[in-house]
Amino acid sequence: MSCKLQDRVAIVTGGGSGIGREISRLFAAEGARVAILEVDEAGGRQTAAEIADAGGEARDFGCDVSSHQQVQESFAAVEQDLGPVRILVNNAGISHVGTVESTTEEDLDRVYSVNVKGVYLCLQAAVRTMKGRGGVILNLASVASMIGIPDRFAYGMSKGAVLTMTYSVATDYVDQGIRCNSISPGRVHTPFVDGFLSRNYPGREAEMFEKLARTQPIGRMGRPEEIAALALFLCSDDAAFITGSNFPIDGGFVNLKT
């Protein structure tokens, strides 16, 4: 069994479901001590319990990443309970459907508070603890940060900010031994997708799922474990020569359709 992250403390925000849960589980299987920061505390506990049942080490911390106080307290608690943070995966995020006209000020503020401010707060906390000893930061951007997606004005804005924050942190802290990269997934089959379809297309879920799946040239949606595998590579020593880079993982969506 490989242990690419043996004894490294890894914070995963939004680790209570979907991509974040798979990243947390894989990192723990590779020897990391995983700290799950999750506003959905029940989801965070479930992920931590699954990891423990599999023989791994994980702790869940209730945290709203848009709150400066909660982020600071959570990072301090992680360091006290598990040790110095070596890895941060900024995965927590929310979506929104709408054009610039249909997006309200409240919609924009809500998306910004989690997807932009939340990433900023966690980046700031991680950099301060990693300076002088090194570390790895991985941000979850999106194909929406690279090309225009219909009806994703606020979401695309926020993920564009995540992408540029990635480049900025990588540039400013390369001399401190901190690597910072991002992943830009296309459509990935998570509970969020299922919930979106049931809310917006009741009775047509299967039909619309297939329609969305076919928008990827490869003919299907991604799987959370596929995103987790790329995250593991980028956060391990296998990627020691990689920083300041963005990695689309999208079934050809960006490069084969544009």
- Classify residue 53 by burial, with Cβ atoms within 10 Å: 0-12, 13-18, 19+: exposed
What contacts 6, CB < 8 A, 6 or more positions away? 30, 31, 32
Q: pTM (2 decimals)?
A: 0.95
Q: What is the DSSP string of 11-41?
A: EEETTTSHHHHHHHHHHHHTT-EEEEEESSH
What pLDDT does residue 193 have?
A: 86
Beta-ladder partners of 13: 37
What pLDDT does residue 55 have?
A: 97
Weakly modelled stretches of the chain, pLDDT under 50: none
In which residue ranges of the chain is CATH 3.40.50.720 found? 9-185+224-253
- Cα angle, residue 247 at apex, residues 222 and 97 outer, rounded to 5°: 60
Q: Which fold has domain 9-185+224-253?
A: Rossmann fold (3.40.50)
Q: Taking the CB of residue 34, how many other CB atoms lie within 10 A of it? A: 31
Q: Taking the CB of residue 220, how many other CB atoms lie within 10 A of it? A: 13
Helix (H, G, I), strand (E, B) or coil at 216: coil
| Residues 18 and 43 sit within 8 Å (Cβ to Cβ) | no
| Residues 23 and 15 sit within 8 Å (Cβ to Cβ) | yes
C-alpha dist (Å) from residue 221 to 137, 164, 252 = 26, 26, 11
Q: What is the DSSP string of 146-202?
A: TS--TTBHHHHHHHHHHHHHHHHHHHHHGGGTEEEEEEEE--B--HHHHHHHHHHST
Residue 86, H or E segment:
strand 85-90
Residue-wise pLDDT for 111-120, tens only, equals: 999 999 999 9
What pLDDT does residue 258 have?
A: 53
- Cα angle, residue 77 at apex, residues 181 and 18 outer, rounded to 5°: 50
What pLDDT does residue 73 have?
A: 98
The catalytic residues are 155
Query: What dihedral angle (degrees, nearest 10) is formed by the CA atoms of 109, 110, 115, 119?
Result: 80
Residue 88, H or E segment:
strand 85-90
C-alpha dist (Å) from residue 203 to 39, 156, 231 = 30, 29, 35
